Amino acid sequence: MFSNALPEDVLYIIKTLNQAGHQAYIIGGCVRDAILHTQPKDWDITTSAKPEETKELFSHTFDTGIQHGTITVVLNHTNYEVTTYRIEGEYEDCRHPSGVTFTKNLQEDLLRRDFTMNAIAYHPEEGYQDFFHGMEDIQAKTIRGVGTPALRFQEDALRMLRCVRFAAQLGFDVEEETYQALSENKELIKKISVERIHDEMEKLWLCHHYEKMPLLWQSGLLGEIDGSFANRLMQRAHNLLEELRKAPKNSVLRWTIVLQDYSPQEAKAFLKKFKFDNESLKGICLLLENINQELPTQGYPLRGLISKLGLEAVEQLITLQEILRPTAPSLQTAQCLHKIVSDGDCLTLKSLAVDGQMLMEMGVPKGKKIGEILAVLLDFVHQNPQGNQKELLLKMAKEHM
Ligand code: ATP
Ligand code: MG
């Protein structure tokens, strides 16, 4: 159905494996997305070849998760994950299989996958290998666990969160037995590492089928992940979904909206608990600290604010204000900011026409005084953007000495 849409590199990988006597198919998200006519993010290949056999066939490969059978093949600067058919052993703790066994049987590999829509293999000549009727489920916009959903969630509890995320990503409904299994096994999510939960929640807030997001708390899953977070979120769920709908797809912005009624201290504890990286943590907390302030609509105070918080943060605050406080004069602030940027106004010490070295040459002693004078000069330039001239500023500095 979509073989002419397959990239040349993918066709080459499949052909090379086939010519060496191995089976090979594209699999998982890329097949699902191609059926849905959305551009796959990446192309994954599943093969009967053992990892060492795959490595022998391609000149540029590296080991990605060799213990799980995954090799990355690099072609034309693009990475393709090629994974050996495998059967997962017993799951001991709702997250890790006790062992992985390679197999020569495609169907066995498909059986270990989470949802029917993710368990369709495709070969450019043979077509679809769809043992679990994933195609029908995709057409009916249904998410259905492969086999017995409860067992699949008990094997790896992250699948429950993936289920909700896929619903919000694709706008699909969760099939009844699968949903039942999810709500009955929700407490198992506690066994999953915060990192894996973070990654899925991160993806969830960036999805655009907002109407499906309530599955996260209505199923009770969020309550198991973090009870107080779930309670706070549910109280303003309706507004939240509307706000997310208006927000650009930016992680820091969306998390700020999600955590908008958290104090910066509460947010910091939450973000640390879920192991956010430092940059995101700082970005979200900075926005939360400033989320309720009136944004200036005049050049002087706005230049000061940009100098203090950074241009990106002020732009994000304007966006947040537009979404959360529609009566605020966001348009004026945005226009003023636009003019400041297009005029190239001096905003920080970096673009000030004088620096510490020049002040020292003029006789200002090294130390605190330099910083004080530079701050006065910068404030002057914020007030008078035309005044960012070396001679004028040095003259002012002299008066301050
Ligand atoms: P996307 O990349 O759009 O998030 P995807 O379906 O490609 O979706 P990946 O996490 O990239 O998801 O995984 C690729 C494939 O591996 C899935 O389609 C599925 O077949 C299988 N898979 C991934 N994670 C799991 C899991 N936890 N349990 C079972 N199968 C999984
Ligand atoms: Mg993928």
**pLDDT, tens digit (0-9, with 9 covering 90-100), for 172-205:** 999 999 999 999 999 999 999 999 999 999 999 9
Residue owning the nearest CA to atom 12 of ligand 1: 29
Residue owning the nearest CA to atom 9 of ligand 1: 29
Centre of ligand 2 from the C-alpha of residue 72, in Å = 14
> Contact 132/31 with Cβ under 8 angstroms?
no
The span from the first CA to the last CA of the chain, in angstroms, equals 78
CA of 33, closest atom in ligand 1 = 3
For the chain, what is the mean pLDDT? 95
pLDDT tens string, the chain, 401 residues long: the values are: 565 579 999 999 999 999 999 999 999 999 999 999 999 999 999 999 999 999 999 999 999 988 889 999 999 999 999 999 999 877 777 787 877 899 999 999 999 999 999 999 999 999 999 999 999 999 999 999 999 999 999 999 999 999 999 999 999 999 999 999 999 999 999 999 999 999 999 999 999 999 999 999 999 999 999 999 999 999 999 999 999 999 999 999 999 999 999 999 999 999 999 999 999 999 999 999 999 999 999 999 999 999 999 999 999 999 999 999 989 899 999 999 999 999 999 999 999 999 999 999 988 888 899 999 999 999 999 999 999 999 999 999 998 87
CA of 113, closest atom in ligand 1 = 30
Probe target for ligand 1 pocket from 43, 93, 96, 113, with the most ligand atoms within 8 Å of CB:
113
> 275 in the Ramachandran plot: left (φ > 0), alpha (ψ -120 to 50) or beta?
left
Compute CA distances 233 → 190, 194, 222, 223, whole Å: 19, 19, 10, 10
| CATH (residue range 141-236) | 1.10.3090.10
Residue owning the nearest CA to atom 28 of ligand 1: 114
pTM of the model: 0.91
Looking at residue 266, its pLDDT comes to 97
Domain ranges, ordered by start, for the chain: 1-139, 141-236, 292-343, 349-399
Distance CA 165, CA 212 (A): 9
Compute CA distances 188 → 115, 154, 157, whole Å: 18, 7, 6
Probe target for ligand 1 pocket from 30, 38, 42, 118, with the most ligand atoms within 8 Å of CB:
118
Centre of ligand 1 from the C-alpha of residue 29, in Å = 6
Ligand nearest to the CA of 204: 1
> Contact 97/116 with Cβ under 8 angstroms?
no
Centre of ligand 2 from the C-alpha of residue 80, in Å = 11
H or E element that contains 283? helix 278-290
Looking at residue 384, its pLDDT comes to 96
Residue owning the nearest CA to atom 16 of ligand 1: 28
CATH architecture of 1-139: 2-Layer Sandwich (3.30)
Centre of ligand 2 from the C-alpha of residue 101, in Å = 22
Ligand nearest to the CA of 32: 1
Distance CA 261, CA 382 (A): 33
Probe target for ligand 1 pocket from 114, 154, 206, with the most ligand atoms within 8 Å of CB:
114
Ligand nearest to the CA of 116: 1
Pocket of ligand 1 (CB under 6 A): 28-29, 41, 44, 113-114, 118-119, 156, 158-159
Ligand nearest to the CA of 199: 1
Residues by chain with Cβ below 5 Å of ion ligand 2: 29
Centre of ligand 2 from the C-alpha of residue 117, in Å = 13
Residue owning the nearest CA to atom 10 of ligand 1: 29
Looking at residue 4, its pLDDT comes to 58
